[in-house]
Amino acid sequence: MLLRRVAGALIILLPILWALRRALPGDSDVVNAGGVPLIGDLLAKALSPRLDGEFLRVVLEATGTTLAFAALGTAGALVIGLLGGLVLSDVAWSRRPPLPVRLVRGLLRGVLVAIRSVHELVWALLLVSVLGLDPLVAVIAIALPFGAQTAQVFGDTFDALPTRALRSLRDAGAPAVPAVVFALLPPAGPLMLSYSFYRFECAVRSTVLLGAVGVGGLGQELVVSLSSRNWDEVWTLIAAVIVLSALVDAWSGRLRTDMAVASCAEWSAGGTTSVPRRSHSRWARWSAVAVVPGLVVAWIASGVSLSGLTSERTRMLTVGLLEDLVPPALPSAGWQVVTGGVLDTLAMAVLAMSIAVLITVVVSPWAVAARRSGGPPAPLGARAVRWVVWAIARVVLLVLRSVPPTVWAVIALLALFPGVLPGALALGIYTGGVLGRLVAESWESVSPAPRDALVRTGVPGALATVAAVVPASAQQLVTYTLYRFEICVRETAVVGIVGAAGLGRLLADNLNFFRFPVVTTLLLASFAVSVAVELISRRLRHAIRA
Amino acid sequence: MTQTPSGEVVVRLQGVGRRFGATPALAGVDLTIRQGERVAVLGPSGAGKSTLLALLNGSLEPSEGSLEILGSAPAGLSTRERRALQRRVGTISQGLDLVEQVRVLHNVNAGRLAEWGTPRALASLAWPRPDRRALDALTAVGLEWAVHERTERLSGGERQRVAIARLLIQRPELVLADEPVASLDPTRASEVLALLGQAVRRGTGLDADPDAGPVARPDGALVVTLHQPLLARQHCTRAIGLREGRLIFDAVVDDLPPAALDDLYARA
């Protein structure tokens, strides 16, 4: 027992120590003394953001662009997800599918894993080199990885449904497509809609990120203002990003609780066991009515056109890119560059995750909505204080996760020399916001009954919490931490692209110099790392649950 | 009273057996069912009743013997031909297999998916219009008021009748019912069996199809698994007994000797 504990502690501590050593090499400076005053300037401008009419119009327009890209990207992802999900699910094929279908399915599964192992920002970089700075880049960069993820989730959703209705239709001779539409979509509908809105929330955040490659919207304005050091503009834009993010979260959260009892936490952990609720609220109705016109407006307003896809130039550039990408080659400095990038990526992810867990442990307990416990109601004053603390904690988490990690990275890079540390810091702050919210939401479902029982037997409140609530909460924290770690590894690409370190930085550098064979090698390396981490984390999660 | 059925053969089984792995579920069954017959299949649980029905609707193939449904042997059929055959066979099971989340009308129209083909079926899901046939089917089961109701809001008995309306609209030539009354009280059970009998009877007004013109169509056949011999006597013309996968009696219901039933349900 003791041995197991020690082993467990070492599994956690050793990687952190190793990552710290990698992030803080003894021989070189970490802090860029020249940059520290810049941070001071940045902070000083917080109280005087740029609010003149001209700039606000720019911000408003950028917000519209971001929303439009996110909506169109999500729509594309849903089409991919629905078709892919049907092909992947076992239910949709009434009997054992024929061999060619099974082969195609296996292939599709692999392709989808590969697609979602590449971060949307990397997709955007690759697409920019073919399509140029076309709005289509943003839409496709969101639609592809999100679609791959959605296909997986929809496939699992279909397979969890009872199959009898579908089978009975098929036995009565119904053709496959209408039978599937009649029997599968209605029961899966609420869950699929709920997931779609969750995806839209994520898409808004990702679209802001994509600004880093210059495809427009709030993200691009942010990068421009940051790099020209117009700090007053930066603050206005950050406020806009936070407000947008909060509004979308609130809208989509409201819809999701109306339609199905699935929390964000459940979806992001890859599925839900909740039973859909069948009351269509006015919110859900009006949102459904707004979706199609909203998409049309988004399409027209954002100036997305598919003509870029079919143009001769795109075709030539695509063929050229594919020819350039193969055969893969090592960087001129040798394979050490690649392994160094892999190790930097892992170190960055480990450190970022440590920071995120730290933030979660400090902030999340306050971000859990207060629940009535068995005892007498607390005095009004105490409840008001509790509410204020809750609201502050929620806002802190919202700010941390709404400001894109690219922005955190650019800020960190003002004061720190490029390397693992600024990347880990930026990613850790952002991931802390995401993880903190997920964990707080999941803690809300931890039963207070055992704690109340202890309190009734005379145990002091704090002690009762430690004894009865912490064990259950700790397990959820560990589960979500492992899950987020997988994503974190993928997201190191993001901070890498703005100049931190790791495979993302190598990718961006080599793309800049059109060294495409090296890019292929790096993409393969990222794919291998992300799959390996996913497998290990899945093993660990199973081991913990067992 | 005994009259030999004279309609055309609907199903013919000769020496049919079906095994799952090494376990035989059905063995050496010889059975011919003709138009106009209403056959009760009696027997204890695990006697092979469900296997027999699965063979009769073409979703299962026999391991041995020859099986002929509505003039064709399902074993040799292509997928398309099999679907065409299954369209003429209506199946209703204890679980009803309705889609709970949609309107009653959709569940009734689900019986016409095969007839409609893909484009029209999809159009009907998007713009449901209760046409004459759908309304007739619902009227026949006393649910004309429920066309636009959500299926899950109906009671158990009402849902059972929705499933029968789905069967009626399919206009099957052979109706297979797997313990349709197992969970119903005696009055309801009688109603349901009467409706199923109606589903295979032609020219009762229910099937009066304005498009079809005055074509007289022969009655279909009903095969229903039951646990209550009394209901079999009231609603069926013929009863067969299955035990451990073998056919142990096959008689006109009025001639059914009580001893045969005792034998059927006796413990081994």
More confident call, B126 vs B173 = B173
Is A28 part of a structural domain of the chain? no
- Rounded to whole angstroms, the Cα distance separating A216 from A302 reads 10
Nearest chain A residue to B83 by CA distance is A173
Is A2 part of a structural domain of the chain? no
Q: Does the distance separating the beta carbons of B111 and A167 come in below 8 Å? A: no
H helix intervals, A263-311: 264-268, 282-302, 307-310
What pLDDT is stored for residue A273 in this prediction?
A: 47
- Rounded to whole angstroms, the Cα distance separating A168 from A233 reads 62
Q: Tell me which residue in A173, A183, A186 faces B84 most closely, judged by beta carbons.
A: A173
- Rounded to whole angstroms, the Cα distance separating A389 from A175 reads 58
Same domain, A360 and A471: yes
DSSP state of A277: P
Mutate to test the interface with A, among B89, B113, B152 (most CBs of A within 10 A): B113
Same domain, A332 and A204: no
Other residues' Cβ atoms within 10 Å of the Cβ of residue B265: 14
Q: Tell me which residue in A168, A169, A186 faces B101 most closely, judged by beta carbons.
A: A186
What pLDDT is stored for residue B77 in this prediction?
A: 83
The CATH number that applies at residue A263 is 1.10.3720.10
Same domain, A386 and A305: no
Is A100 part of a structural domain of the chain? yes
- Rounded to whole angstroms, the Cα distance separating A209 from A215 reads 10
Same domain, A367 and A430: yes
Same domain, A315 and A364: no
What would the two tokens of residue A196 be? Answer: 């779609």
DSSP state of A52: -
Q: Does the distance separating the beta carbons of A169 and B122 come in below 8 Å? A: no
B233: closest CA among B53, B100, B46, B40? B40
Other residues' Cβ atoms within 10 Å of the Cβ of residue B5: 17
What pLDDT is stored for residue A145 in this prediction?
A: 93
Cα four-point dihedral sign A178, A184, A190, A194: negative
Is A35 part of a structural domain of the chain? no
What pLDDT is stored for residue A22 in this prediction?
A: 83
What pLDDT is stored for residue B206 in this prediction?
A: 47
Is A29 part of a structural domain of the chain? no
Is A111 part of a structural domain of the chain? yes
Nearest chain A residue to B169 by CA distance is A172
What pLDDT is stored for residue A6 in this prediction?
A: 83
Backbone phi and psi for residue A35, each to the nearest 5 degrees, phi listed first:
-90, -15
CA contacts within 13 A on the Cβ side of A1: 0
Same domain, A336 and A477: yes
User: Is it the case that residue B213 has pLDDT exceeding 50?
Assistant: no
Q: Does B100 touch chain A (CB under 8 A)?
A: yes
Q: What strands lie across the sheet with B238-243, from one edge to the other? A: B89-93, B174-178, B221-225, B38-42, B238-243, B246-252
Backbone phi and psi for residue B40, each to the nearest 5 degrees, phi listed first:
-95, 130
Helix, strand and coil in chain B, % to nearest 5:
40, 25, 35
What pLDDT is stored for residue A429 in this prediction?
A: 94
For tokens 């941390």, name the residue: A400
ipTM above 0.90, yes or no: no
Q: Does the distance separating the beta carbons of A164 and B85 come in below 8 Å? A: no
Number of domains making up chain A: 2
For chain B, which domains are there?
8-88+173-184+220-268 (3.40.50.300)
Q: Does the distance separating the beta carbons of B90 and A172 come in below 8 Å? A: yes
Q: Does the distance separating the beta carbons of A172 and B114 come in below 8 Å? A: yes
Q: Does B117 touch chain A (CB under 8 A)?
A: yes
What would the two tokens of residue A264 be? Answer: 């964000």
Contacts of B26 (CB under 8 A, 6+ apart): B16, B17, B18, B48, B51, B52, B55, B62, B242, B245
- Rounded to whole angstroms, the Cα distance separating A226 from B27 reads 81
Which pLDDT band, with edges at 50, 70 and 90, does B209 fall under? low
Same domain, A333 and A285: no
A301: closest CA among A63, A507, A119? A63
Same domain, A359 and A278: no
CA A209 centroid distance within chain:
11
Same domain, A338 and A233: no
Packing angle, helices A231-259 and A185-210, rounded to 10: 170
Q: Does the distance separating the beta carbons of B101 and A181 come in below 8 Å? A: no
Is A305 part of a structural domain of the chain? yes
The pLDDT profile of chain A, 546 residues, written as one tens digit per residue, is 677 778 878 888 888 888 888 888 766 677 777 777 888 888 887 778 888 888 899 999 999 999 999 999 999 999 999 999 888 887 777 666 778 888 888 898 889 888 888 888 888 888 888 888 888 889 999 999 999 989 988 888 888 787 788 888 888 888 888 888 888 888 888 788 888 888 898 899 899 988 888 888 888 888 888 888 888 888 899 899 999 988 988 888 777 776 654 555 555 555 544 444 445 567 777 777 788 888 888 888 777 777 777 777 777 777 877 777 777 777 777 788 888 889 999 999 999 999 999 999 999 888 887 665 555 666 788 888 888 999 999 999 998 988 888 888 888 888 888 888 899 999 999 999 989 988 888 887 777 777 777 777 777 777 887 777 777 788 888 888 888 888 899 888 888 888 778 888 888 888 888 888 888 888 888 888 988 988 888 888 777 765
- Rounded to whole angstroms, the Cα distance separating A442 from A265 reads 6
Same domain, A529 and A424: yes
Q: Does B113 touch chain A (CB under 8 A)?
A: yes
For chain B, give the number of residues.
268
The DSSP line for B68-102 is: EETTB-GGG--HHHHHHHHHTEEEEETT----TTS
Nearest chain A residue to B88 by CA distance is A172
Q: Tell me which residue in A178, A187, A278 faces B113 most closely, judged by beta carbons.
A: A178
The Cα of B229 is separated from the nearest Cα of chain A by a number of Å equal to 27
Helix (H, G, I), strand (E, B) or coil at A27: coil
Q: Does the distance separating the beta carbons of A183 and B113 come in below 8 Å? A: no
- For A473, the domain range is 326-371+381-545
Are A397 and A360 a contacting pair, CB within 8 Å? no
Is A5 part of a structural domain of the chain? no
What pLDDT is stored for residue A427 in this prediction?
A: 92
Other residues' Cβ atoms within 10 Å of the Cβ of residue A120: 27
Helix or strand run (H / E) with residue A99: helix A99-117
- Rounded to whole angstroms, the Cα distance separating A66 from A368 reads 30
What pLDDT is stored for residue A216 in this prediction?
A: 80
